[in-house]
Structure 1
Amino acid sequence: MSSSSTFRTVPQAADAVIIGGGVMGTSIAFHLAEAGVNDIVVVERGELGCGSSGKPIGGVRAQFSDPLNIELGSRSLRAYQDFPYRPGADIRLDSVGYLFLLTSDRQAAAFGNSVRIQNSLDVPSRVITPDEARRLCPYISTEGLVAAVYSPTDGHARPALVVHGYATAAARAGVRFATHTGVTGIDTLGDRVATVHTDHGPISCSTVICAAGAWSGQIGAMAGIELPVRPVRRQLAFTEPLAPPVPRIPFTIDFSSSAYFHNSDDGLLFGLADPDQPDGFDTTWTSEWLELFRNVVRHRAPALADMETADGWAGLYEVTPDHNALIGRSAELPGFLYATGFSGHGFLQAPAVGEIVRDLYRGREPFIDISPLSADRFRTGADSRPEAHVV
């Protein structure tokens, strides 16, 4: 995207202001612009993709335990496969599959049920034996494994390339991007959105779309909307280049511990969710986390425990109470739309969510009923809470 598409002095007015220039905000901007809605400003307090979208995990999959999340993942997976043509960018998609390693009969039964639902929705996942899993990923030990689940069409891509691809196409269609611009307030008049205030001036608008990730709770509060999102740090590390070259392996997850690893350039990427990680906006990478990963993985993939690492990253998950997304339009403030709270799954669902928010903005029915993902589900007496998904 050319530098002329970004600016520090915000326009005085727009039809819609998208808050957040990560993969969700840029996907929404692209889908709106493609549909002919181009009087849009995307406001981002740093560079595009500087939040969680910039962290190079990039898993894409349709393996979930409930139909709604399966459909969001599956539709997004098809969009990522088509990305070189629409919007037109190489995102380094590698369809190596996702491999879940299971260590109890209870896990195997739950995943087996999920596979049946996935298969009914044309996702080619399947339950495999521990020996088959080891053939796919020679790093793993089969000791203690009961079964595994593999879907060959899943994989991983580069989030920064996705953000750039969406933003470039949106800018070409007339969307404006205000980077290094923070939102300081939102004015409403009755049940209408009136103004978004930024540290570079106010923007009059009738619609605000909150795609601010871990910071969405603060944005919602500015408009009097409760978005129950809490920030939780997640860390990962990269190995030094490995010789002999790393075999091409699936995105492999030890379900019991949450430890995962996959190919990354000339080595491997390691990840793990620390169950004791407190909430907060701290994105400091720590060597203590790496030791935690090494201790956890020593049993399941012993060779990884002794690999030298070259670098590490820390980013933020935007976690909701039931680990499902918040997508919808505020009933009290109809000009306020939101797409947030993805609990680690925003990147893999971003193309589908961009379509959904486009349709919500235009008053059309989305391709799937997203009412179970309304932020209102956490209010006392709400009965439309979705089933928590597997991971």
Structure 2
Amino acid sequence: MGATGKELPRRAGVVVIGGGVMGVSTAYELAAAGVPDVLLLERDQLGSGSTCKAAGGVRAQFSDEVNIALGARSLETFERFGERFGQEIDLHQVGYLFLLDAPDDVAAFERNVRLQNELGVPSRMISVAEAKELSPLISTEGLLAAAYSPTDGHCTPESVVQGYAAAARRHGAHLLTGCAAHGIEVVDGRIVAVTTSRGRVETDTVICTAGAWSKEVGGWVGVDLPVEPLRRQILVTDPTPWVADDTPFTIDFATTFYLHREGHGLLVGMSDPEETPGFKLSRSPDWLPRLAEALGRRTPSLVDVGMASGWAGLYEMTPDHNALVGEAPGVSRFLYATGFSGHGFLMGPAIGEVMRDLYLERTPFVDVSGLRADRFADSLIRPELNIV
């Protein structure tokens, strides 16, 4: 490519903007398929955006067929990640346990489980008593049922990024950190270059994997990527030696309060219904009383456990909580994979395959045409209901 190390090449076959899990998996899949001169641009460090601030959950329990397929395909990769990439990711397939306290939610999850089972996902509805056996921390007050899939779980996002990045480089991809994309040059409807903080690189193809920052990138080429950043906060408790290592990733669906094992303690979090969009990365004290209320109601034994650390990250939200995946029709060639609304990390491996195939103009393993960004103008939305 005419460049080594941290030097910006003069020319690239394809430029990937964004170095989270979507970007590095896409760069890897392209390079492994023999695509020459793959360049990834990341303004900070790899994974420093939303990926490494994620809770690390991996699952196939969704309400939409495409999301189920993407989650299941990614789980297959996570299961073989160490073998394939030589990078351990601390995968714990302890299952995802959704706790349900409303009749409408129970009915919806029953429909979801039937669809998941048809697609090969081993999820099932379980009784409140079995949920208590699986996750002894919980209070069962008000619960009607639960949904559980034993192959779901959690792993370490940083390790996944490192594994993909190293593999991409082994296949010849150039991953350049500390280099921000500033714009995309278009001539007569065709991309000709990307401008960066280190200069200009000629290319005829851009793939946007910029997460919460994707709207700006799309705007450079006149493509509307309706993505809004929304802060989500996470805390890690002091050591909880009495909590079993095989405790499932447990979600109180009504409140979105969740927890899973993290080192010697527990990772806990939930959405904030009063949160407003924006690039807010500081932790807000206003959220803590709401978390404490949900924690006290569903896991009262944790009320007096100290909190050792925490952080805030950004969800990349779309109007229907489904991703934006495809190639823009109005400019050649601008592809995008963004807007995963909280389930991007877990779909990263599958999306890397999809973006490879879209670039090579091959048919992906799942039909993602319903995820194209212009679906909102065409009224083709189908909301993903199983988000936390």
TM-score range, shorter chain: over 0.9
Pairwise CA distance, 1:386: 3.0
Pairwise CA distance, 1:383: 4.2
- Count residues in correspondence: 385
- Secondary structure of 1:111's partner? helix
- Secondary structure of 2:109's partner? helix
Superposed counterparts of 1:355-366, under 5 Å: 355-366=353-364
Distance in 2 of aligned mates of 1:276 and 1:22 = 27
Is the CA contact 2:54–2:345 (under 8 Å) kept in the aligned structure 1?
no
Is the CA contact 1:234–1:316 (under 8 Å) kept in the aligned structure 2?
yes
User: TM-score normalized by structure 1?
Assistant: 0.96
Asked if 1:237 corresponds to 2:235, the answer is yes
Distance in 1 of aligned mates of 2:58 and 2:242 = 27
Further displaced range: 256-265 or 29-38: 29-38
Pairwise CA distance, 1:195: 0.7
Further displaced range: 30-39 or 316-325: 30-39
Distance in 1 of aligned mates of 2:364 and 2:353 = 7
Could you tell me which runs of 5 or more consecutive residues in structure 1 were left unpaired when the two chains were aligned.
none
- Secondary structure of 2:282's partner? coil
Distance in 1 of aligned mates of 2:243 and 2:302 = 14
Hey, which bits of structure 1, 4+ residues long, moved more than 4 A? Answer: none
Question: Which AA in structure 1 matches 2:106?
Answer: A
Distance in 2 of aligned mates of 1:288 and 1:159 = 27
Pairwise CA distance, 1:384: 3.0
Superposed counterparts of 1:38-187, under 5 Å: 38-187=36-185
Is the CA contact 1:33–1:174 (under 8 Å) kept in the aligned structure 2?
yes
Is the CA contact 2:248–2:260 (under 8 Å) kept in the aligned structure 1?
yes
* Pairwise CA RMSD: 1.3
- Secondary structure of 1:21's partner? coil
Pairwise CA distance, 1:353: 0.5
Flag the 1:56–1:318 CA change in 2: closer, same or farther, 3 A.
closer
Distance in 1 of aligned mates of 2:5 and 2:258 = 36
Distance in 2 of aligned mates of 1:383 and 1:295 = 38
- Counterpart of 2:386 in structure 1 is 390
- Counterpart of 1:304 in structure 2 is 302
**Alpha-carbon displacement from aligned partner over 1:58-86 (angstroms, at most 9, x marks no partner):** 10000001211100100111111011122
Is the CA contact 2:100–2:146 (under 8 Å) kept in the aligned structure 1?
yes
Is the CA contact 1:232–1:280 (under 8 Å) kept in the aligned structure 2?
yes
Distance in 2 of aligned mates of 1:292 and 1:390 = 21
Pairwise CA distance, 1:385: 2.4
- Counterpart of 2:201 in structure 1 is 203
Flag the 1:157–1:289 CA change in 2: closer, same or farther, 3 A.
same
Instruction: Among all aligned residue pairs of Structure 1 and Structure 2, give the percentage whose two residues are the same amino acid.
Output: 50
**Alpha-carbon displacement from aligned partner over 1:35-57 (angstroms, at most 9, x marks no partner):** 01141110001000001111151
- Secondary structure of 1:86's partner? helix
Asked if 1:260 corresponds to 2:281, the answer is no
Is the CA contact 2:227–2:339 (under 8 Å) kept in the aligned structure 1?
yes
Pairwise CA distance, 1:370: 0.6
Further displaced range: 209-218 or 281-290: 281-290
Is the CA contact 1:233–1:314 (under 8 Å) kept in the aligned structure 2?
yes
Is the CA contact 1:246–1:267 (under 8 Å) kept in the aligned structure 2?
no
Is the CA contact 1:140–1:301 (under 8 Å) kept in the aligned structure 2?
yes
Asked if 1:322 corresponds to 2:330, the answer is no
Distance in 2 of aligned mates of 1:246 and 1:56 = 22
Is the CA contact 2:24–2:161 (under 8 Å) kept in the aligned structure 1?
yes
Is the CA contact 1:18–1:210 (under 8 Å) kept in the aligned structure 2?
yes
